[in-house]
Amino acid sequence: MNLSNLTPAVGSVKTRKRIGRGTGSGLGGTSTKGHKGQKSRSGYSKKVGFEGGQMPIQRRLPKFGFKNVNRVEYKAINIDTLQTLAQTNNLTKISVSDLREAGFVSRTALVKILGKGVLTVKIEVEANGFSKSAEEAIVAAGGTIVKL
């Protein structure tokens, strides 16, 4: 074996269709575009959403809803998650950075603590937002809250 007799695997390389190179090629004449009509002409391009003259779906359906530009998106963390995190790592203070390291929130996410679950350990919780039930549960367990 040497460089002069290397060939690709059988069936891996196909020859290109040479369209519009005379009738002898079998692909001359109409150049695989059929006979006449808009699609056979040069420069044809269909408009996006065109449905052959039928009223397109984006014009048939009504507009609805809106996007609130002032919406603030929070990543919800429940109290039972804080409970397990505090017990496994022996923490007395849980901040957003601790939740990031544990893999619960992304680097840019804002965190809101929600009240699902039971909290038995006394911890200081630092987050961007708290629900009323979460605040009450943390304070009832002897902990404190810090809003960022």
Whether 104 has a pLDDT exceeding 90, the answer reads yes
The mean pLDDT of the chain is 93
Q: Kindly state the average pLDDT of the residues 60-87.
A: 94
> What is the predicted pLDDT for the residue at 40?
93
Q: Kindly state the average pLDDT of the residues 72-91.
A: 93
In angstroms, what CA-CA distances link 8 with 4, 5, 14?
12, 10, 11
Query: Cβ distance 31 to 42 under 8 Å?
Result: no
Which tens digits make up the pLDDT trace of 16-36?
999 999 999 999 999 999 999
* 47 backbone dihedrals φ, ψ, rounded to 5°: -65, 145
Whether 1 has a pLDDT exceeding 90, the answer reads no
Query: Cβ distance 109 to 75 under 8 Å?
Result: yes
> What is the predicted pLDDT for the residue at 115?
93
Query: Cβ distance 139 to 119 under 8 Å?
Result: no
CATH annotation of 74-147: 3.100.10.10
